[in-house]
Structure 1
Amino acid sequence: MSNKEYSFATGNTKAVGASPAPWLLKLREIWILFRIQFAEVRDEWVWIVLMASMFPFTTLLFLKYFSPVQTPEVMVRIITGNMVFALTIMGVNVLGQVIAEQKKQGHFLYYAALPVSKLNFVFALFVRGLLTCIPSVVILAVLGQWIYGLTFVYSIGMIPVFLISLLACVGMGTMIGFLSPSPQLASLLAQSLMMVINFLTPVLVTVEMLPAVLQKTAYLFPTTYVAEAFRIIVTDGWTMDVARNMLILTGFIGICLYLLARKMDWRIDG
């Protein structure tokens, strides 16, 4: 009996029961890993949104009533800066601590026992971070326009800008979680870094307002490019400056994926 069959659609003969193409297996693996990550946050999404939105929203109101200058440029900077703030709370602070704690408890030993690609697993974590960040960023954008009486310029370019920016910040949080030797150090590093990248980089202020040293070090952090891209895309639409920032952030995402694939360990000592 022949183990081949003829396809009238393609005119070719293929083996019956042949295994799927490698790229299809990779997609299936990513989909399964994503569903696992989605199940972990599905029951906590209300608290995630509230936790990620409360602090930036409070800062938004504070700057609304106590800022002496309310020009359109300043108002846009305040709104987009707090959108970045909401992004770093979940993408850097919370995600880094969650990954470090799960690693300490041995959650990832299960994945280490499976024929799962580290790169695909990291990508699934990136998508998880993306899902937890999107609601708070959107909420801050909507409330910010309403509170300050502004209307953003909407364009199709917002989609890649927001996605790439979110992934860049999520990459920082993932690296902190996996590369930190302990959950305590991950928590300290994530919270300290969140304060630095939000208040000592041109997120809520202009780069000229920072000391000379911070003006140079600010460009080491992706939030500098995220904040600039946010400000431009909501006022002028897609420009060459936005494209430049997206190229830099894409490179940062690639570096994060490379380092995690090479340096990531499934377990923690001690």
Structure 2
Amino acid sequence: MCILSWVERKDRSKMKATAMQVQAAPMPQSIVKREPIPLWKRKVSEVATLCWMQLLELRQNWIWVVLLASMFPLTTLMFMKFLNPNPTPAYIVQAIAGNMIFGVIVTGVNMMSQNISWQKEQGHFTYYLSLPVHKLSFITAVLFRGLLNTVPSLVVMALIGKLAFEVEFHYSWWLLLLFFLATYVCSAFGTVIGFWSKNQQLTNMLSQVLMMFLSFLSPVMVTMEQLPGALQGVAYVFPTTYIAEAARALLLTGYSSAVGWQLLILTGYALVFTVLIIKKADWRAK
């Protein structure tokens, strides 16, 4: 009995020493508590990931996007050249700028609205329910896709218009700001239509009617003075009026105070459309 109790005491002392060694041992590196990632880094990573997802979706049919965005403005530009074989410099700039904005309308307003409405009707946005992302990050990625859709048509139409008419533009840094605001505003306008429409059929009708009205019954292909009085009043409601007038002025003469006001108005449209998208973007499941 004495031997057994001595053995038990010895085992207990060994177990106690082992427990003390385990407690004193340093924590493994894999379970060391890490410092939390700053909020701004998480948001930047979140937006970058969502934009990359939109880019991966777009790469499958980007060629068709560029062709579709350039085909309608290109045919209109060629028709205007055939209609007026001896155009003045002002008419040339008006035709080129109008068709550049026409391409922005096709890709920004028309294609974005139909794409958003189709994804909403098919339930694609419920996928984002499983992702811990903020709505504003999602909206940023959607508008990023709209910018990618729109920029190629601007570049293509500018190059083709310059080669077709053999004209020199008045270049300035304000053109970059104008083209950014133009692509953003038209993409945001199309996104608002896509989210606010009840179904895809209504979206298709609205986008087609708006595309025709904005292109041919507002001062995009023509100047404001060439429109009837009633259409002149309606034209000031749409942002494409300010885009076209600012583009013509910058390409012809450069920056002026009128262009500054038009850029300021477009910035206001961008803010309004962004707020409307955030309010109505029902991308999470109810």
TM over 0.5: yes
Match 1:23 to one of 32, 36, 40? 40
Alignment match, 1:139: 156
Give the Cα–Cα distance (whole angstroms) in 1 for the partners of residues 237 and 85 of structure 2: 30
Provide TM-score, normalisation by structure 1. 0.91
Q: Is the 8 A contact 1:181 1:268 kept in 2?
A: no
Give the Cα–Cα distance (whole angstroms) in 2 for the partners of residues 209 and 69 of structure 1: 20
Give the Cα–Cα distance (whole angstroms) in 1 for the partners of residues 33 and 161 of structure 2: 58
SS of aligned partner of 2:261: helix
1:188 aligns with 2:211: no
* 1:238–1:16 distance in 2 versus 1, CA, 3 Å: farther
Tell me, which stretches of 5 or more residues in structure 2 are unaligned? Answer: 1-23
Alignment match, 1:7: none
Match 1:35 to one of 37, 49, 52? 52
Alignment match, 2:90: 73
> How do residues 91-106 of structure 1 correspond to structure 2 at under 5 angstroms?
91-106=108-123
Once the two structures are TM-superposed, the CA of residue 160 in structure 1 deviates from its matched residue by: 1.1
> 4+ runs of 1 displaced by more than 6 Å?
none
Q: Is the 8 A contact 1:104 1:267 kept in 2?
A: no
> How do residues 22-171 of structure 1 correspond to structure 2 at under 5 angstroms?
22-67=39-84, 70-171=87-188
SS of aligned partner of 1:108: helix
1:249 aligns with 2:266: yes
Tell me, which stretches of 5 or more residues in structure 1 are unaligned? Answer: 4-14
Q: Aligned AA for 1:164?
A: L
What percent identity do the matched residue pairs reach?
Answer: 43
Once the two structures are TM-superposed, the CA of residue 38 in structure 1 deviates from its matched residue by: 0.6
Alignment match, 1:222: 239
Give the Cα–Cα distance (whole angstroms) in 1 for the partners of residues 204 and 230 of structure 2: 26
Q: Is the 8 A contact 1:106 1:267 kept in 2?
A: no
Give the Cα–Cα distance (whole angstroms) in 2 for the partners of residues 146 and 268 of structure 1: 50
Give the Cα–Cα distance (whole angstroms) in 2 for the partners of residues 162 and 207 of structure 1: 20
Alignment match, 2:191: 174
Give the Cα–Cα distance (whole angstroms) in 1 for the partners of residues 86 and 69 of structure 2: 27
Once the two structures are TM-superposed, the CA of residue 238 in structure 1 deviates from its matched residue by: 2.6
Q: Is the 8 A contact 1:93 1:173 kept in 2?
A: yes
The structure with the largest alpha-carbon Rg is 2
